[in-house]
Chain A
Amino acid sequence: MTKRQRIVVVGHGMVGHRFAQAAVERGLTETHDIVVFGEEPRAAYDRVGLTSWFGHPDGAEALSLLPGGVYDDPRVRLVLDSVVTEIDRAARTVTVVSPPSAGSRDGRQGALLDQRGEPGAVTVHDYDVLVLATGAAPFVPPVEGRGKDGCFVYRTIEDLEAIKAASEAATSGVVIGGGLLGLEAANALVQLGLDTHVVEMAPRLMPVQLDDVAGVTLVRHVEKLGVQVHTGVLTEEIEGDRSVTGLRVRQAGTEEGARTEVVEAQVVVFSAGIRPRDALARECDLETAPRGGVLVDEQCRTADPHVFAIGECAAPGGTMYGLVAPGYAMAEVVVDALLDGPGTFTGADMSTKLKLLGVDVASFGDAFATTEGALELTYADAVSGVYKKLVVSEDGRRLLGGILVGDASAYGILRPMVSSGLALPDNPEQLILPAGSGVRLGMPDEAQVCSCNDVTKADILHAVAEQGCEGVADVKQCTRAGTTCGSCVPTVKNLVEEHFASVGRVVDKGLCEHFRLTRQELFDVVAVHGYRRFDDIVEAHGTGRGCDVCKPAIASILASQTSTHILEPATAGLQDTNDKYLANIQRNGTYSVVPRIPGGEITPEKLIVIGEVARDYGLYTKITGGQRIDLFGARMEQLPAIWKRLVDAGFESGHAYGKSLRTVKSCVGSTWCRFGVQDSVGLAIALELRYRGLRSPHKLKGGVSGCARECAEARGKDFGVIATEKGWNLYVGGNGGATPAHARLLAGDLDTQTLVSYLDRFLMYYVRTADRLQRTSTWIEQLEGGLERVREVVVDDSLGLGAELEAEMARHVGGYADEWAATLADPAKLERFVSFVNAPDTPDPTIAFTTERDQIQPIAPALIPVGAPS
């Protein structure tokens, strides 16, 4: 056996992380140990989505690419807060400076001691393979005054924290640089409430991607949003004593000393391009490209065969790429090379599509028509601010590139046409005329649909046809398509739907043969017409007499909208077996009984009652995962008597049988635990009592943890609440089971009242719009806009639905009654709980038990010979 090799990765940014991830997925860790040193205080995060940090209460966590900061594979070790300061290629070692705390990640953010020049721990590490993934740094032009307080760059979460803090005392801000990133920074300043200016040296915005007309169109959009754009101006000086007060600028092309103007600002953000962080390589005599970047070959290897460079710090063939997709491709190439694979990196598609300040902008392929003989087709609508340009080959047969401003909906179809060389239709202008002109184009299989993760149409079709993907959410998980910038998701959706249509699988969301409507549509129909009876609904909107799919679904909808007992005559026949008997049927036809134990807290007296009931009825007892006790083996006719004993002792139904709230699990919290920061048990009980009995598309589970240690496993629940020093963080969309999902942060540091109102809205929004048997995780995945959409509706109240959703929940809470007690009080409902209509006192003769570990266990009813009467 050969010795395990050791890989050292420098930099845990987007690309360094992708390298580690690909190494694990492709088995490189079978032969290699990997250690990654990252200078930032946190694991890699989605830098592409950096700006969204401003909108999130706990943005850093929402952006994380590795929540928890630990790889699943123990052979990959991540060391944060640690800077590689030197490479010794002869000895094959790197020198690392870490603050004393680095490596022990106990939840505190380690201080960046070394970066402040204070002494840190210095260690030396061997490598067999060194991968440089140090990224790039913002370029700050040598303008006088650039070191003053109030000057920032826009690259890391710390930069954003500083900009946010400075903005609190500021009224106006200016961004130097009107490129892609500059406009994004301007967007952030607008969101922070500053009067925002952008100064750009070139005569137009986004000079790299856009032509003049497109640039002008974009300026119109951007100014409408309150950003003042100054193009064609140079920055002379940043004014102010210690802190910035303004920016002195002059027109480009004028002499030094010519007339200047001052743009007032207390915040200045430099966004004048980036420079690869290649100093480490230069210092150990590795060659760099003339315009920066570690020079590497097609396998991303430097002249030293043990050293690779990937991402923004690398310059394959002399060119650096300032986008994430090429970096990801390089990461994959190096993993491939280390597995002796043939992969190479030979350049990348620099297409861009983004929504800038709400304006669609896309630029792809040969956007400036530099190809010999290229022709341009343009469409401009100054009123609505739309500009579209196609660059086509001389013979008009091939699309070479294009620019779209104001409406980039055609991007998904156009960009793949460039890379695939698909022949254009006879009238290519149709492609950019306003929608409805009706050109449909087949995409070739090799067309790249997701450029961030290099996923082709063929990959997507393979995922649906061969790998069992059932929808967009599955395809995203399986291929990574659409998981980075998300711009290709509509195209992915179309491909998936087209595929299912082509194999004759009706992509029919109808509930069953009796209803063509989806659950959500039915929910609305019931609400609008105020239906209370299945008969009315099926007569008006369905056919036949229903089945085990639509009847329970309608029962659930009716239960969500009214608070009448589920066993009322109008709905009793619709209920699923378990709901019909308010207990859970088991394999031999007996039932299990679960009383509610809110938050898992129970008195000794109540525990004794449960024990006594179990003993007296000979029931098997087991502690559930939801912190309560399940009593098994009750015959149907015994249920009311068992409930009576429990109800008399102060218990109620735990709804273990329903598609409804099950439990809100809790840890012991601040009352007892020396680490707890909030009363998690108290909140869990309050939430469980609030949402008990709520009928929903699927079962619902909650959890509350009293501190970040998360002992209640709240993030494995549909809604999870985790205490912070300041309040509560709310997570949504988690579940265990066959396809576990971790809940994601919806909002952070909430006071209890806000938490409850967000939860009310979230749960009601789910109850209203989810499909039948759809857990919250899949529901969120399938919502257009995903978690962001949920946040808009629940937190930002963008639909103005908040009050209505809360009122519906209030109605539910007010109308709640214990289903067991209500059944016991109603002789008509009790009539059904008999074994045989003509022999009510005779127990079912097929039910029998044996004993195992001192408790009963069912004996499988002898399987009746198929087809023969017994």
Chain B
Amino acid sequence: MDVARATALCAVADIPLEGGVAALVDGVAIAVFRTHDGSVHAIGNVDPFSGASVLSRGIVGTRGDAPVVSSPMYKQAFDLRTGACLDDASVSVPSYDVSVVDGVVLVRGVR
């Protein structure tokens, strides 16, 4: 992983609580979420079932203990921590390393 390169995306307050935003990093669309407990997660924005770049617009909630977003297209749930699709074990979206430094959201490892 390219540890050195971190990209600043936005202020953490720009992400609605229990919601998401889309961001563009080197031409790649990623979805960044903030869950109810305040933690921030990032996964690919493209919904693999439709090909549309929309996951950031899904509803954020939980399934069991997992924080999830459900795709606004066909409603499959994706684990925000890993990008794994919980409704189809053969499908996942990329997951990215994010951190919050001084209120700024940083992402790494997007290629």
Contacts and interface: CB of A to CB of B under 8 A. Distances in A.
B21 A837 contact: yes
Nearest to A845: B27
A551 B61 contact: yes
A520 interface: no
A546 B21 contact: no
Nearest to A544: B62
Given A513-B63, A837-B9, A589 B52 contact: yes
A547 B9 contact: no
Interface residues of B, number: 48
Contacts of A581: 57
Contacts of A585: 54, 57, 72-73
Interface in B12-27: 14-19, 21-25, 27
B61 A544 contact: yes
Interface in B39-71: 44, 46, 48, 50-54, 57-64, 67-68, 70
Contacts of A572: 16, 19
Interface string B1-39: 000000011100011111101111101110010011000
Q: Which of A552, A842, A862, A870 has the most CB of B within 10 A?
A: A870
A791 interface: no
A587 interface: yes
Interface in B52-111: 52-54, 57-64, 67-68, 70, 72-73, 75, 77, 90-92, 94, 111
A828 B41 CA distance: 23
A548 B59 contact: yes
Contacts of B15: 837
A585 B51 CA distance: 13
A547 B67 CA distance: 10
A572 B18 CA distance: 10
Contact of A577 (B21, B22, B57, B64): B57
Contact of B18 (A545, A844, A867): A545
Interface string A751-771: 000000000000000000000
A839 B59 contact: no
B46 to A, nearest CB: 5
A844 B22 CA distance: 10
A860 B15 CA distance: 29
Nearest to B110: A869
Interface string A836-851: 1111001011110000
Given A844-B29, A870-B28, A573 B59 contact: yes
Contact of A863 (B9, B22, B48, B70): B48
Q: Which of A589, A839, A846, A869 has the most CB of B within 10 A?
A: A869
A571 to B, nearest CB: 11
A276 to B, nearest CB: 61
A861 interface: yes
Given A574-B59, A867-B92, A839 B19 contact: no
A846 B92 contact: no
Contacts of B91: 866-867
B53 A846 contact: yes
Given A589-B54, A838-B23, A870-B44, A573 B14 contact: no
A550 B58 CA distance: 14
Contact of A545 (B24, B48, B67): B67
Nearest to A589: B52
Nearest to A846: B53
Q: Which of B8, B27, B46 has the most CB of A within 10 A?
A: B46
A862 B28 contact: no
Nearest to A545: B62
B14 to A, nearest CB: 6
B24 A842 contact: yes
A576 interface: yes
B51 A546 contact: no
Contact of B29 (A547, A552, A588, A836): A836
Contacts of A589: 50, 52-54
Contacts of A832: 16
A864 interface: yes
A846 B61 CA distance: 27
Contacts of B53: 589, 844, 846-847, 861
B46 A861 contact: yes
Contacts of A846: 29, 46, 51-53
A627 interface: no
A317 B36 CA distance: 77
A835 interface: yes
A870 B111 CA distance: 8
A482 B27 CA distance: 62
Given A587-B50, A837-B14, A863-B48, A573 B60 contact: yes
A545 B9 contact: no
B25 to A, nearest CB: 8
Contact of B16 (A547, A552, A573, A838): A573
A548 B23 contact: no
Interface string A568-607: 0100111011001100010111000000000000000000
B22 A837 contact: yes
Contacts of A836: 21-24, 29
Nearest to A547: B61
B24 A861 contact: no
A547 B68 contact: yes
B28 to A, nearest CB: 6
Contact of B52 (A576, A587, A835, A870): A587
Contacts of A577: 54, 57-59, 72
A188 B20 CA distance: 64
A548 B62 CA distance: 10
Contacts of B67: 545
B9 A838 contact: yes
Given A861-B46, A864-B46, A547 B59 contact: yes
Contacts of B23: 836-839
Interface string A601-640: 0000000000000000000000000000000000010000
A653 B9 CA distance: 33
A568 B36 CA distance: 17
Contacts of A573: 16-19, 59-60
A548 B61 contact: yes
A589 B29 CA distance: 13
B11 to A, nearest CB: 9
B7 to A, nearest CB: 8
Contacts of A545: 18, 35-36, 60-62, 67
Contacts of B58: 548, 577
Q: Which of B14, B15, B52, B75 has the most CB of A within 10 A?
A: B52
Contact of A869 (B9, B52, B94): B94
Contacts of A847: 53
A829 to B, nearest CB: 11
Nearest to B44: A869
A852 to B, nearest CB: 19
B67 to A, nearest CB: 7
Given A861-B51, A862-B51, A547 B28 contact: no
A145 B70 CA distance: 79
Given A580-B57, A837-B32, A869 B111 contact: yes
Interface string A816-844: 00000000000000001001111100101
A866 B93 CA distance: 8
Interface in A485-527: 513-514
15 contacts: A545-B62, A545-B67, A548-B77, A580-B57, A587-B50, A589-B54, A835-B24, A836-B29, A838-B8, A838-B10, A839-B24, A860-B51, A861-B51, A864-B51, A867-B92
Which are the 6 A-B pairs with shortest beta-carbon distances? A577-B72, A589-B52, A861-B51, A869-B94, A548-B70, A544-B62
Interface of A: 513-514, 544-548, 550-552, 569, 572-574, 576-577, 580-581, 585, 587-589, 636, 832, 835-839, 842, 844-847, 860-864, 866-867, 869-870
Given A545-B35, A547-B62, A847-B53, 9 more contacts: A545-B67, A573-B19, A587-B50, A837-B15, A846-B29, A866-B48, A866-B92, A869-B94, A870-B44
